[in-house]
Structure 1
Amino acid sequence: MHTLKKFVWPVGLLLVAASCQDLDVVNPNRPDAERATAQPLTTENFVATSFRTWWPVAGHDDYPSWAFSTMAREITSGFADFGQLELSAEPRQGWNNSPVNVRRFVNETPWFQLFRTVSSVNDVVGSINRGLVIENAVRTARAKAMGKFMQGVSYGHIGFYFDKAPIIDEFTKLDTVRTPQFTEYRQVSAFAIRQLDSAIAVAQTQPSMTFPADAWLYQSLTRDQFVRLANSYAARILVYTPRSRAERAAVNWAEVIRRVDAGIQTDYAPLAQPDVFFDDWKRLVARLRTAGRPSDFGRPSYWLIGPADSTNGWVNWVATPNDNRLPFQMRTRDRRIQGTTGPASPGKYVGYNLNNIFAADRGTFRWSHYFFRRSGVDLTWQTGPQLAMSVAEMDLLKAEALIRLGRAAEAVPLINRTRIANGELPPVTVEGPPNEPGCVPRKESGACGSLWDALRYEKGIEGLGMNGVIAFLDARGWQTLPENTPVHLPIPGRELQTLQLPLYTFGGPGGQGSAPARDPERCPVAGLARCPS
């Protein structure tokens, strides 16, 4: 079999005719893609490796994870790498979308890498539609199901990150495209879910379909497990697409429940392979380069873990002007943050370390005495399972749906599952956590939190270190982002320049796409105790 190099168009080059209206543009590399996808095993390899291409920009590498996590105040860092310093500065400023901005990869990397994945799988699905058979009916259906799945999760993340994008699928005639047609993010996400449903429909035709552990989705999956995974990703897309409190309230929450119930029943944790498939987000969040300085690149933020504090440290820290904030030692009953032998003893997910590892002139508000330890250090990020989607996440999405649908009592046991088992905390009721000293979580005023506060706290602490973008996607829908944070990213300046379209951006005072003032404790429904609606 000949080895052929597959050509992948960046979207700007796909649509280059938009800036050359009088030219007939022909893609001279297209025959290579067509010849390659006429070869069954080569075609299968394109789709079998597509998840590996998608994985880094889905919250498992540097872009856009560090920018998004620090904007959400999940992780705090004083380093300039990966655009995090500028985007997490307080007060917030707009994103610099210049094509020569040295931090431009915050939106360039996910844009081009997601469309690279789309391009690969479009070729595969198109070839199968034209009659290509890969050995037998089962393998052919598996390749097509995987292709539709990857279209779905790729466009799902495009819909998460960007205000708009072109929809390019296996039916798009690339060489005839002359004018870019951009689709608004909500329609992009709706398209993504339709592709996931197509993947489910194809998979259901072949009960014996399986996915191997060493490639494809990097976890051994049966046909039914693949279908459940697709449903869980659809649940994510439904919940995480909204840019505002109003949009999140308008989600079809009954459909979220249906998807969660049809979704994963065990944690999805693909198996890392050294230097091939790994989770660099987990590596940097837990990095230890010098003895005594764990999490030396970024640390859990007090905004995330502070509500568990039983002293006035958290309340006073919130009330202190931003530029005067200093780190403090918490005392908490949450065993994910503090062990049983005192405030300096490590918890299951987080430990205490006195070192302040970031430069003071970049803001002491960035300092934290806490480090991430749930995923381990050393080489755990590239050996063994890498938690990517948990049953706990799905439980808490369902719990949010139930609260919003006026069925809060049904949400209580879902919130308590991890709260009791992992946090070793007393259970919540519809009234919220027990209103007593040491209550977890507390409001920023110091009062004991509501059931809604407990849901959001549980979602944050259980998601810590799993994925670098989800905290941001939650925060914009809960209206907990700092005011003027960009709620999404623009099409990269490089792409706009190629297409001869005007530069634009989001965020900053008075800018479009800027988050409103925080309103962290307002309930989505009336009638919950300790929770103004």
Structure 2
Amino acid sequence: MKKLLYILLLITPLLITGCHKMQFDDPNTFTLNEALAITPDYYFKVAASSLNSAMFWSNDAIYSTTGFGLLGDQTTTHNGSYRWIDFNVEPRIALNTADSYNGQSVMYAPYQFFYQANLDAVKVITGLNAGKPGVDSKGVSRTNEVYAIAHLVQGISQGFLGATYDRGIIVDQDLGVATPQAYPNSYKEMIENAVKHLDMAIGFANQATSITMAEFYPGVVADKAQFIRFANSLAARFLASIPRDKAEARALGSTFWNRVYTYAKAGLTDDFTTAPYAGSGYYYNYSTYYLSFLVSGAPYLPVDIKLAYFADTTGTYPDAYPTDNTVLGPVKTNDARFATYFQYYAAFGGYLDASLGRYMFSNYGRIRWGNGANAAMYSNRQVIMLKEEVDLLRAEALFWTGDLSGAAAELNAPTSERIAKGGLRQVPATEQAISYALHYEYAISIDIGGSNIGPFGYMRRHNLLQPGSPTQFPITQNQLRLTSVQPYTFGGIENAGKKGVWGETGTAGTDWGWKGTKVVF
């Protein structure tokens, strides 16, 4: 018998149930009840720990953020670390989930860390439901806050699991000792359940006298109102991440997309950033650091040529790098944001190798957040979620309901980033123009500030991924061997259009792609 081995190979001591012994740092052992007597704020601490994990791994940098960024032509590299090149190569190849494959961790990390955070949150909710105290270190009852945090963690964790993988297990209770089993829940069920938890987080937040998120995660400055706006924004993000192709997005219908709009309408009204970063223990956006730094004067993980091609206003910049010895110059653009978000580098650096395919080259890297944060723009604040993403979700929701005028109005609002900061022209109320403008904004404005999924999620539901790209990650073999499920995968040009177990598109079809979709207006 194995305790939740189908979820995680390693379970932390926080998950051991009440009658079992709990090992602390000292040589003594305690039951959970004995531990509570010594640490009465146990559930507050576990809620805080699970929140730290869920929020940190929402921006996992070297793992799915880079993997999805490469698959979505947002980032480029020939780097063999974590086999990133395999996610970038053209034509696309199938994902390799074998234990011996160095790139497996790109696909496995979200599974490992989000299930762990979810399990810790389950432990908190189970304890509170049993009447255990939800007090802080001063003995003050914070039960509604602790409930709200725990449900937020489950919403974040299950939301990312559903957005990332084709299947999973909804874990809303302590399953105790269980034998290995299959993965019964679809990506859609995972996300809908995540939204249920976000609704519950909002409900408990409304019951709480106040919420101080910084006491659960240092640096995350949010009161009750901001907590609720954040939860609504996450609900909109995750619901929009359900469809695996354009047909599925349309089939969800107006009622579904009106839900997305309603959540986004109640979402963030400003960028959600932290207090100035104060060192270890404070919230840190790992992705904005890792995908921004330089090696030998060139970007370690450059942005894909797609971004410069989109920003170009001359009509001369290519959508693939020249395969001869040409070195492209700086792009000419009317977007005032581009030069403050990205920088031109004449040198390619050591991680772009012509022998591996010059078509992957790029001369641009990220500078918006510098090495983790751009002090000039954010006073060394870390990005949690951008208002612009919520604005785009509203516009896109209207797009899918057929309200093209409403979608264009959202994009053309004086407060929209493309207008207020970019100084760009108005977007016409046509399907092609709005679809392209949304993709442009995800690529230029959201980029790595949009969590692990980022622009990839938008491209997936609009059939913009390159042919043969996987639309989702499979469960890796190190977990499948604990079940009766046989190894499977997605991706590979030879598998273009192949469906998954739920009938969803698991591999982008031959008629997919972003090239040729640019609209000049």
Match of 1:415 in 2: 411
Q: Match for residue 27 of structure 2?
A: none
TM-score of the superposed pair, with normalisation by structure 2:
0.84
2:232 matched to which residue of 1? 231
Pick one of 149, 161, 165 that aligns with 2:164: 161
1:87 equivalent in structure 2: 87
How much has 1:10 moved relative to structure 2?
5.2
Cα separation, partners in 2 of 1:27 and 1:455, compared to 1, 3 Å: closer
Question: Alpha carbons of 1:317 and 1:142: their partners in 2 closer, same or farther (altered >3 Å)?
Answer: closer
> RMSD between aligned alpha carbons?
3.1
**3-state SS, counterpart of residue 238 of structure 1:** helix
Per mean C-alpha deviation after superposition, the further-off stretch among 189-198 and 368-377 is 368-377
State the match for 2:501 in structure 1: none
Shift of 1:372: 1.0
Distance in 1 between the 2:17 and 2:106 partners? Answer: 28
Q: Shift of the alpha carbon at 1:195?
A: 1.0
Deviates more, 1:233-242 or 1:273-282: 273-282
- Among the aligned pairs, what percent are the same residue? 24
**Secondary structure of the corresponding residue to residue 465 of structure 1:** helix
- Aligned residues of 1:78 and 1:298 also touching (Cα < 8 A): no
Judge conservation of contact 1:355–1:369 (CA < 8 Å) in 2. yes
Structure 2 gap segments, 5+ residues each: 23-30, 499-505
- The corresponding residue for 1:396 is 392
Alignment match, 1:98 = 98
1:9: how far off?
Answer: 5.6
Q: State which of 439, 461, 472 in structure 2 corresponds to 1:477.
A: 461
Aligned to 1:436: none
| 1:410-449 paired onto structure 2 within 5 Å | 410-416=406-412, 417-430=416-429
Asked if 2 retains the 8 angstrom alpha-carbon contact of 1:75 and 1:298, the reply is yes
1:187 aligns with 189
Map of 1:142-291 to 2, 5 A cutoff? 142-170=145-173, 172-176=174-178, 179-206=181-208, 208-213=209-214, 215-216=216-217, 218-251=219-252, 252-271=256-275, 272-276=277-281, 277-290=283-296
For 1:503, what is the secondary structure of its paired residue? Answer: coil
Distance 1:137 1:233 in 2: 29
Distance 1:253 1:178, change over 3 A: same
Change (3 A) 1:77 1:191: same
Q: Does 1:373 align with 2:367?
A: yes
Paired residues of 1:67 and 1:106 also in contact (CA < 8 A): yes
Deviation by residue 1:123-158 (Cα, 9 ceiling, x = unmatched):
111000000122378501111111111011100000
TM superposition score normalised by structure 1: 0.82
Q: Please state how far the C-alpha of 1:205 moved relative to its aligned partner.
A: 1.3
Shift of 1:530: 9.0
* Pair 1:46–1:157, CA change in 2 (3 A): same
| Cα distance change on mapping 1:469 and 1:173 into 2, 3 Å | closer
Q: Counterpart in 1 of 2:335?
A: 334
Q: Distance in 2 between matches of 1:150 and 1:360?
A: 44
Distance 2:452 2:314 in 1: 29
Contact 1:15 / 1:177 at 8 angstroms: preserved in 2? no
2:137 counterpart of 1:139: no
Superposed CA offset, 1:389-410 (max 9, x none): 1111111111112222232222
Q: CA deviation at 1:194?
A: 0.8
Find the residue that maps to 1:385 and give its secondary structure.
coil
- Residues 173-205 of structure 1 show CA distances to partners (whole Å, capped at 9, x for unaligned) of 322556345211111111111111111112211
Aligned to 2:503: none
Deviates more, 1:210-219 or 1:30-39: 30-39
Q: Secondary structure at the match of 1:482?
A: coil
1:498 to 474, 479, 482: 482
SS at match of 2:214: coil
Q: Which residue of 2 aligns with 1:361?
A: 355
Alignment of 1:291-310 (within 5 A): 293-294=297-298, 296-310=299-313
Per the TM alignment, residue 265 of structure 1 is displaced from its structure 2 partner at its CA by 1.7
After superposition, the C-alpha distances for 1:464-495 in whole angstroms (9 at most, x for unaligned) are 23134211111111111111111111111111
Equivalent-residue separation in structure 1 for 2:36 and 2:115 (angstroms) = 18
Shift, 1:273, TM fit: 4.2
Pick closer, same or farther for the CA change 1:260–1:327 going to 2, 3 Å.
Answer: farther
Letter in 2 for 1:154: S
SS of the aligned residue for 1:351 comes to strand
